Structure 1
Amino acid sequence: MKPLSGLRILEFDGLGPVTFAGMMLADMGAEVLRLTRAPGAGAAVFEDVGGEILHRGRQSVPVNLKDPADLAGVVALVASADALIEGFRPGVMERLGLGPDACAERNPRLVYGRITGWGQTGPKASEVGHDINYIALSGALSTFGEPDRPPRPPLNLVGDYGGGAMMLVTGVLAALLSAKHTGQGQVVDAAMTDGSSMLMSLFRALSARGLWTEDRGANLLDGGAPFYRCYTCRDGGFVAVGSLEPQFYAALLNGLDIPPEEAPQYDRAAWPALHRRFEVLFATRDRDDWSAAFEGSDACVTPVLSLAEAPRHPHNMARGAFLSGEAPQPAPAPGFNRSLVEAATPPGPLGLEEAIALWG
């Protein structure tokens, strides 16, 4: 049995974080129905983004929320659901007659998960935005990129997925545990700005102790330290060096044939020269040569793999970290020792009446 077997979750199809959260919940065994826009339903109420990977493990149910019959069918599904997740702008679900209060009248134990960029309240709640805007306001974006250039967005991992979808899943699961004991559901307000700010907790702690500066590329974990950054190799590939602890740094120096007295680890004044020295050394050999040289050591040196290479790495293959197929996709994570967590190909669309019958 999967960890979330028996839970029924209604997913209002949307962009990034809702889709990713629905995938995770389905991977862990929840029965997720993904409500999509019915053909000819008019304005795009839903956005079909995600494909075979992000839509895996759950059935789609096309609906037209402007059709009273379809709307009544969705309300019937709400009555049988344990949780609902949606990512519309504040007020949209209320105008459809599917806001938290209306749903709670039909199902008092329902957990209502909401994910937006700015949150349900606050001066910017009604404004549009994207991942880059949300992490800009949280302060997270200011830490990424080269020191002499504008900040560079770290894909949409920090806002949409780390600060958004992961926080939504955590909040929904916590609220489901509460509902199990109290019989009362609640609204989960997951904002990507809040979540990305939460992810910066360590760096705010370091800053409070004077161990982190506002300057990009001048700190321990942002590429400022010569022993925690990436280097270009002779063939144009890259290696990632993460030799933080003194014993790991010693292994790095040993692998580079550098006497320890010539490379004090935490002498910040020496970092620029040491970075240049490492740069020259790593450029003398190919990426895979360095990877082989440091294999099995404690130096924390690994090749930087491309998206195409990662599924073929022996470690990832041994752990089953990717699923094979026409296009390799990440396997469900995390793993559980007593539960099988697996990804399922998205089944075909399900009619609304069929979905209502399925959920009783």
Structure 2
Amino acid sequence: MSNPLLEGVRILDLTRLLPGPFCTQYLAQLGAEVIKIEDPAGGDYARELMPELFAVVNRGKHSVTLDLREADDVAAFKQLVAGADVVVESFRPGVMERLGCGYETLKAINPTLVYAALTGYGQNGPYRDAAGHDLNYLAYAGALDQIGSAGGAPAMANVQIADLAGGALTAATGILAALLGAKVSGEGTFVDSSMLDGSLALQPIALAGLRAHGHTQPRGADMLTGALPNYQVYKCRDGRYLAVGALEPKFFARLLAALGEQVPLPKTLKALAGGKASTGQRSRKPPTADSGDQSRSGRPGLRDRFNEVLEDPARARRWLAPVRWSLAGVFRLRPRDAWIRALSQADACVAPVLTLEEALADPQVLARGMAEQVDGGPGIGCPLHFEGRRRDPLAPAPGLGDDNDWLLER
């Protein structure tokens, strides 16, 4: 018998829009039965405001309509709770209590219930009752300050980091842990998941910089956001971009060697590729291309010099700026896809910056079964694979109240 994952787990989902529905769809992809509890007057706001978003984050779910301001519907909801494993809601703190459906009330009905509240700021603290969205949570978390180009304003990503990674996936982790604990102990629990908290927890790199230097680096100028020429995005001749992630010295050395086979290299890159140090005082020399501890000449090798500059990001930016400028000039000589073909065998951590359309047609994505059709349009499959378990696409998102007849005993 194969591992059933979450088959047999019933989740009552009162969430709307993006973070909560994304969380519960993840759990549906893992086998859980998810029942959307929706207001009869329109249901989830996304149905009308963003129907395509609704379609892609509510697949595989059922829908029942209940007005929790009405006593009969509250009674029907509690009847569902008695046979459920999880309740997920995303109201501001206190709303469910005012409706007569707070955790303590539902726990008395079902002691093994896992009750998850996915909110912006959590159940306590001065912001607990404040409204917010992804941008606000990232701003408070210090994450937005880290996103963007050097010298520019904070940048807004079209990937909802706080909603999805800080919120939905963090909440899903909490729910799974609580379900496991309930199975062992026979007692449910309250899962308090805050998108601000989850976003704050996503910053180990910036936190390491703060610990090492006493302050975070300027936006776009930390080691992984622009200080290093070998971890950078470069524009190509056709206006498209390459993502160069040759972070370790061995990958950078391979990249320089492969580039040298394709085009004449500027002096700055020749010195690196050939293992020669530039002239001038030792403290100002760029790293050699040797991936060992020392180059053949006895001077510090690439690994040594990069370890040295890692201790001082500002110095790294100054020392390595000519290398970055030289690489930028080289990559402008050819179109993006020509560089990908030329560097395909270099094993140097270089990738094309794809559009979503291109990503969904990429052979790696297709091989992993990640591109699906959802209601006649493009969709994204479950990113997890399990041995011995076939991963079938989820059913389309339900219509409002589609499952009233068989789920509500009236």
TM-score normalised according to structure 1 size: 0.92
Partner of 2:362: 313
| Alignment match, 1:27 | 29
Contact (CA 8 Å) 2:151, 2:220: kept in 1 or not? no
- Matched residue SS, 2:201: helix
Partner secondary structure for residue 209 of structure 1:
helix
Alpha-carbon spacing, 1:211–1:300, altered in 2? closer, same or farther (3 Å): farther
Instruction: Report SS of the residue matched to 1:223.
Output: helix
Query: Cα deviation per residue 1:241-280 (whole Å; 9 max; x = unaligned)?
Result: 0000111011111122143236626352322111111111
> 3-state SS of the aligned residue for 2:333?
coil
| Percent identity over paired residues | 38
Which residue matches 2:326? 277
Equivalent pair of 2:336/2:352 in contact (CA under 8 Å):
yes
Find the counterpart in structure 2 of residue 104 from structure 1. Answer: 107
| Segments ≥4 residues shifted beyond 4 Å | 44-47
Q: Flag the structure with larger Rg.
A: 2
Given that 1:63 and 1:352 are in contact with CA atoms closer than 8 Å, whether structure 2 keeps it comes out as no
**Counterpart of 1:330?**
380
The corresponding residue for 1:231 is 234
Q: In the aligned structure 2, how far is the partner of 1:156 from the partner of 1:232? A: 22
Which residue is 1:344 aligned to?
394
Q: State the secondary structure of the residue aligned to 1:328.
A: strand
- Change in CA separation of 1:164 and 1:170 when aligned onto 2, cut-off 3 Å: same
For residues 328 and 156 of structure 1, what CA distance do their matches in structure 2 show?
Answer: 17
**Cα distance between partner residues in 2 of 1:286 and 1:278:** 14
1:138–1:196 Cα contact (<8 Å) kept: yes
Residues 331 and 211 of structure 1: is their aligned pair in 2 closer, same or farther, counting only changes over 3 Å? farther
RMSD in angstroms over aligned alpha carbons? 2.1
Instruction: Specify which of 81, 86, 90 is matched with residue 87 of structure 1.
Output: 90
Who is 2:339 aligned against? Answer: 290
Equivalents in 2 of 1:343, 1:160: separation in Å?
A: 23
Is 1:174–2:177 an aligned residue pair?
Answer: yes
Q: CA deviation at 1:202?
A: 3.5
Which shows bigger deviation, 172-181 or 332-341?
A: 332-341
Distance 1:292 1:356 in 2: 58
Give, as a single letter, the amino acid of the residue that structure 2 aligns with 1:13.
Answer: T
Shift in Å, 1:352: 3.1
Match in the other structure for 1:164 = 167
- Summarize the alignment of residues 147-296 of structure 1 with structure 2, pairs less than 5 Å apart: 147-210=150-213, 213-257=216-260, 258-259=269-270, 260=272, 261=276, 264=287, 266=306, 268=316, 269-296=318-345
Corresponding letter in the other structure for 2:226:
G
What is the deviation of 1:296?
3.0
- Please state whether the residue corresponding to 2:108 is helix, strand or coil: helix
- Structure 2: distance between partners of 1:296 and 1:110: 53
Preserved CA contact (<8 Å) 1:20 1:161: yes
* CA distance in 2: counterparts of 1:313 and 1:351, whole angstroms: 37
**SS in structure 2 at match of 1:105:** helix
| 8 Å contact from structure 1 (residues 291, 302) kept in 2 | yes
C-alpha displacement of 1:224: 2.2
The aligned amino acid for 1:32 is V
Question: 1:61 Cα shift?
Answer: 1.3
The TM-score, its normalising length taken from structure 2, stands at: 0.82
Matches of 1:11 and 1:296, distance apart in 2? 48
Tell me how far apart the structure 1 counterparts of residues 116 and 182 of structure 2 sit (CA, whole Å): 13
**Inter-CA distance 81–31: structure 2 relative to 1 (3 Å threshold):** same
- For 2:147, which of 128, 138, 144 is the aligned residue? 144
Residue of structure 2 in register with 1:14 after alignment: 16
**Structure 2 stretches lacking a partner, 5+ long:** 261-268, 278-285, 288-301, 310-315
1:296 aligned partner, one-letter code:
Q
Q: Aligned equivalents of 2:81 and 2:244: distance in 1?
A: 50
Partner in structure 2 of residue 37 of structure 1: 39
Name the CA distance, whole Å, in 2 between partners of 1:231 and 1:336: 37
The runs of 5 or more residues in structure 1 that have no matched partner are none
